[in-house]
Structure 1
Amino acid sequence: MYNKNIKKWVALFIGPALFFLTLFLIYPSIQTFIFSFMGRRSEEFVGLDNFIYAFTSRAMLTSFRNNLMWIVFFTFGTVSLGLLMAILVDKVKYEKIAKSIIFMPMAVSFVGAGVIWKFIYDYKPMGANQIGLLNQILTSLGFQPKGWLIQGPLMNNFALIFVGLWIWTGFSMVILSAAYKGIPKDLLEAGRVDGANEWQVFRHIILPYMKPTIAVVATTMAVNVLKIFDIVYVMTNGNYGTEVIANRMYKEMFQYRNYGRASAIAVVLFVLVIPVIFMNVKRMRGEDQ
């Protein structure tokens, strides 16, 4: 009787969660996988045609290249800058104020950040009034204005990645700062007393101690950047060689109305995220053992 009551309470609490999980996650995922083998209007079976397009079309190859650039430079940038700021801010007198200022961009929506930086990067030909802050500074110093968002494929992609760094560095700093404060002060002082300089203390004490947290932040940033969409959509809409996978999926779905290709790209994006999640889960299990 007691076990039956427990099962009823378990079903009562877990049942609604399982229902909504199935309705809004599992069912759409299965449906998307089925649609990835269908045609433009999901009416006829086309086999692997949509996946062939996803791995051979010029637009998708550009998307893969740009997503790889985002993964490498965005992930490395947010983790390294966040770690650097976490250590430096810990040494200043007004630590809370400094952290608040650095974290402040996270309070801005990604769309809002894209609009702000689109104005900062704005380009007008030489001789015209520059409303973009960067080009106004360049022209006032006697240099030619630059098309930050239209000169590709390196300059504009790095300009977009910098916006991502501006937003997410504060998040990385907060997480890494918590891990840094967890390092025993006696351990740091012992290293300094033994004659280690600050670089040696960082390399042999701080970095190994914070390695698990750094791995968590890095994998989180990698997952976020694989599905990057808002910044690219608002600032360039994927033009001038800045296309990314999520933005291409959006275009195929809502602009070109090709549901089969959009579903195939969604499946590809999902598969790309799986290894990062798997590594994170494996690392967490290793820590628990």
Structure 2
Amino acid sequence: MEVFNKKLWGTIFLGPAFLIMGIYLLYPSLQTFLMSFMDRTGSEFVGLENYNYAFTSESMLIAFRNNLLWLIIFTLGTVGLGLIFAILTDKVPYEKLAKSIIFMPMAISFVGAGIIWKFVYTYKPPIFDQIGLLNQIMVLIGKEPKGWLLEGPWVNNIALIYVGIWIWTGFSMVILSAAYKNIPSHLLEAAKVDGANWWQTFRYVVIPELLPTIIVVITSNVIRTFKMFDIIYVMTNGNYGTEVIANRMYKEMFKYRHFGRASAIAVILFILVLPVIIMNIKKMKQENN
């Protein structure tokens, strides 16, 4: 009887939460999956036609390529710079000020950051005065101004990825800095006593101790790359070969009003992120055990 009462009270307390999750998470997910097999209006079954479009159309292939580029450069950039800044700021007397400056871009909305950097990258033909900061610097050092957001597929994509790195490096730094400070001091002292130089200490002591945190930061940033939308939408709207999966999904849904294709892209995006989520859950279970 007592066990029954515990289950009853558990159901009463958790029931509303499960109900809300079902309404706002489970039902939309199932509806999106079903819609991915329907036509533009969602009234006729078209089978795998939308998925065929997603994996064969030029625009989607460009989006996949760009997301791969974001995945590699953005993740390496944010985690690498975050780790470097976490270690360097720990050794300066003005640590709090330095970290605040590096973290400051996180306080700006992604739309606001996109607008700021769009002005920085602004290009005018050489016969006109440059109003973009970066091109004005190029002119001052005797170089030709460059269309940073117009020259694809590498220049403009890397320019956009840099904005993402500028924003998210501070986040990576804060997480890695907290982990770095928790490294037992006796390990670092033992390395010094054994005659290890800074590189050996970093490689054989710091990295192994930080590895679980580095994996968490990497997986978080990998998920973030697949959801990247704001910067691209504000700065180029996917033009000039800068399309990414999330931006393409938005266009199919709200610009072309093709609900079937948009739903198929959403399902593909979910499938791409799913392995990373599963890996994170397994990692958390291992740490709890």
Q: TM-score, normalised to structure 1's length? A: 0.97
- Quote the Cα distance in structure 2 between the aligned partners of 1:280 and 1:6: 31
1:157 and 2:157 correspond: yes
Q: Secondary structure at the match of 1:204?
A: helix
What's 1:233 paired with? Answer: 233
- Quote the Cα distance in structure 1 between the aligned partners of 2:12 and 2:236: 48
Displacement, 1:10? 2.0
- Quote the Cα distance in structure 2 between the aligned partners of 1:16 and 1:285: 26
What's 1:145 paired with? Answer: 145
- Quote the Cα distance in structure 2 between the aligned partners of 1:189 and 1:29: 52
What's 2:6 paired with? Answer: 6
- Quote the Cα distance in structure 2 between the aligned partners of 1:239 and 1:85: 34
Matches for 1:1-289 after TM superposition, within 5 Å: 2-289=2-289
- Quote the Cα distance in structure 1 between the aligned partners of 2:4 and 2:109: 48
**Per-residue deviation, residues 233-267 of structure 1 (Å, max 9, x unmatched):** 00000000000000000000000000000000000
Aligned residues: 289
- Quote the Cα distance in structure 2 between the aligned partners of 1:106 and 1:158: 20
Letter matched to residue 104 of structure 1: M
Displacement, 1:15? 1.6
| Structure 1 runs, 4 residues or longer, greater than 6 Å off | none
**Per-residue deviation, residues 135-172 of structure 1 (Å, max 9, x unmatched):** 01111222110000000100000000000000000000
Displacement, 1:186? 1.4
Letter matched to residue 12 of structure 1: I
Letter matched to residue 194 of structure 2: D
Q: Secondary structure at the match of 2:81?
A: helix
- Quote the Cα distance in structure 2 between the aligned partners of 1:279 and 1:241: 32
- Quote the Cα distance in structure 2 between the aligned partners of 1:215 and 1:264: 30
Letter matched to residue 98 of structure 1: A
Letter matched to residue 217 of structure 1: V
- Quote the Cα distance in structure 2 between the aligned partners of 1:174 and 1:140: 36
- Quote the Cα distance in structure 1 between the aligned partners of 2:276 and 2:40: 31
- Quote the Cα distance in structure 1 between the aligned partners of 2:148 and 2:13: 53
Letter matched to residue 185 of structure 1: S
- Quote the Cα distance in structure 2 between the aligned partners of 1:207 and 1:268: 34
- Quote the Cα distance in structure 2 between the aligned partners of 1:112 and 1:11: 44
Displacement, 1:281? 2.0
- Quote the Cα distance in structure 2 between the aligned partners of 1:201 and 1:39: 59
Query: Structure 1: 5+ residue runs without aligned partners?
Result: none
- Quote the Cα distance in structure 2 between the aligned partners of 1:226 and 1:118: 22
RMSD of Structure 2 on Structure 1 (CA): 1.1
Displacement, 1:127? 2.1
- Quote the Cα distance in structure 1 between the aligned partners of 2:74 and 2:114: 16
Letter matched to residue 130 of structure 2: Q
